[in-house]
Amino acid sequence: MNSILRLLSFIALLTSALHAASPPNFVVIFIDDMGYGDIGPFGSKINRTPNLDRMAEEGRTLTSFYVAAPVCTPSRAALMTGCYPRRVGLGQGSGHVVLFPGDAHALNPDEITVAEVLKGAGYATGCFGKWHLGDQPGFLPTDQGFDRYFGIPYSNDMWPGHTGWSFPRLPILEGREVVDEVKTMDDQGTLCRRFTDAATAFIREHRDEPFFVYLPHAYVHHPRQAAPAFMEAAKGDVTQAQIEEVDWSVGQVLDTLRELGLAENTLVLFTSDNGGTKGNVNAPLRGGKGSAFEGGLREPTVVWWPGTIPAGSRSDEILTSMDVMPTFAHLAGAEAPTDRILDGQDIAPVLLGKAGAKSPHDAFFYHQGNTLRAVRSGPWKLFVTGELYHLDSDIGESKNVAGEHPDIVARLKQKLTEFEAEITTHSRPVGKTHATRTLLPRPGVEGDEGYRPTLELGANKPKKKKAGPAPQK
């Protein structure tokens, strides 16, 4: 009997050791346009987010986590490549701040994405949701390292319901093929569930091998609609309904991992692509989507890996979405690209709560499009226009203290000058193609004309009001 017990104990220890040594799975949940104060772990008293609350209780909140741009396309380019968007030619789209349907520009296939790094290390890779890094052949997720893709190729407002542009019908893709479309607001309200279901199905399918799931939700981008149950619970407040449905999605992912016994071998990162817009809460930050103030790029972020990341912990260190690729590569036992400049760094010691771990970033640079706007170093943030803020004591950027700290201003101005020169010299070309066409036509337009790229058509001019009758004399 003792021999049997010793054998069973040895098997248990061996199993535990093998489990601990296996590379972790990764899940990135990337929300669209969420405000810093929209969820419970970051102070929301409006939205019910029990799953995110629990995620924070079991994980780590990152209070100074930045994306590299305050709008969709460049922010996503940075996450995928570990680089400032300007570095990879995607500080903006071709003729607009983001890519449009049928755009000739995209993330260059010569760039190496986090999906390609992990796929090369034996990971199954899936993307479920909004891509927004190119919709033409050769530029879709399955061309950029993902084994599977189900989602929309760009923002959910790029559809016929938008009055400012002549957008085509909004496609839903499976791989490279259009399999459905978003026709109505009710269809918009199904996107969170559909992307969540696809992501959890992928996790189940690949439970016995390492996987990387990228879940870039279309929520909470306008136009907003949620599933009926969430609309009812929020009493018609569509922003609240969407945020609470996103929280449901987080719960579905985490519960799936728990059910399959994968929780202790999976790192889950929750964040947003940029700051919130109308209806969102960015407080206590100043500004929101599109802004170079903190509200444009500083995101509500939670990281979770039970048994590895200390529960209920918090970090105020400067971290960025560009750090995802080198950090995941390190944790997976893979190698991030060494043949090109990366701006991201390995932040595993900070994420894992190692004693004394500090940010590897001496400076973080804020952009709007291709224009450098500000730099943060430690607690200090200097705008190119000369305003200086001490973020540790003034997170809302309300008091310009440049006059009191000329030495800090001079030091940070030098950083701005050096970085501008460096990134101008060492940037790489954007992906380009020719003879583009949209994936679906514009409603009511026949033949090739219906597939003309949106930017070729230009913005719709506001209709002039008809003059009323001449006043009576």
* Burial (0-12, 13-18, 19+ Cβ within 10 Å), 217: buried
pLDDT string in tens for the chain (473-residue length): 455 545 444 444 444 444 445 899 999 999 999 999 999 999 999 999 999 999 999 999 999 999 999 999 999 999 999 999 999 999 999 989 999 999 999 999 999 999 999 999 999 999 999 999 999 999 999 999 999 999 999 999 999 999 999 999 999 999 999 999 999 999 999 999 999 999 999 999 999 999 999 999 999 999 999 999 999 999 999 999 999 999 999 999 999 999 999 999 999 999 999 999 999 999 999 999 999 999 999 999 999 999 999 999 999 999 999 999 999 999 999 999 999 999 999 999 999 999 999 999 999 999 999 999 999 999 999 999 999 999 999 999 999 999 999 999 999 999 999 999 999 999 999 999 999 999 999 999 999 999 999 999 999 987 655 544 443 43
Classify residue 108: in a domain, yes or no: yes
Q: Which tokens go with 55?
A: 């995620």
Classify residue 175: in a domain, yes or no: yes
Classify residue 269: in a domain, yes or no: yes
Same domain, 277 and 221: yes
Number of domains in the chain: 2
* pLDDT confidence of residue 447: 96
Place of tokens 């679906």: 440
Classify residue 458: in a domain, yes or no: no
Same domain, 306 and 403: no
Same domain, 48 and 161: yes
Instruction: For residue range 182-238, list pLDDT tens digits in order.
Output: 999 999 999 999 999 999 999 999 999 999 999 999 999 999 999 999 999 999 999
* pLDDT confidence of residue 472: 40
- CATH of residue 205's domain is 3.40.720.10
Classify residue 362: in a domain, yes or no: no
Classify residue 196: in a domain, yes or no: yes
Domain that holds residue 140: 23-351
Same domain, 289 and 414: no
Q: Which tokens go with 5?
A: 């017990």
Same domain, 332 and 400: no
* pLDDT confidence of residue 11: 44
* pLDDT confidence of residue 95: 85
Same domain, 383 and 266: no
Region at 41 (left for phi over 0; alpha for psi -120 to 50; beta for the rest) = alpha
Distances (CA, A) of 216 to 176, 250, 254, 309, 444: 17, 12, 16, 23, 31
459: DSSP letter = B
What amino acid positions are annotated as catalytic residues?
72, 132
Same domain, 246 and 389: no
Distance CA 113, CA 88 (A): 11
Same domain, 297 and 385: no
Same domain, 302 and 400: no
Classify strands 431-432 and 124-130 as parallel, antiparallel or unpaired: unpaired
Extended beta strands in 305-436, E state: 313-315, 319-320, 364-368, 371-377, 380-383, 388-390, 431-432
Classify residue 80: in a domain, yes or no: yes
Same domain, 71 and 135: yes
Radius of gyration of the chain (CA): 23
Same domain, 285 and 401: no
Q: Which residue type sits at 368?
A: Q
- Reduce the DSSP state of residue 178 to 3 states and report it: strand
String of DSSP letters for 406-447:
HHHHHHHHHHHHHHHHHHHHS--PPEE-SS---SSPPTT--G
Q: Which tokens go with 420?
A: 């501008």
Dihedral angle over CA of 186, 187, 192, 197, nearest 10: 120
Distance CA 137, CA 150 (A): 15
Same domain, 51 and 147: yes
Classify residue 252: in a domain, yes or no: yes
* pLDDT confidence of residue 56: 98
Q: Which tokens go with 220?
A: 């909470």
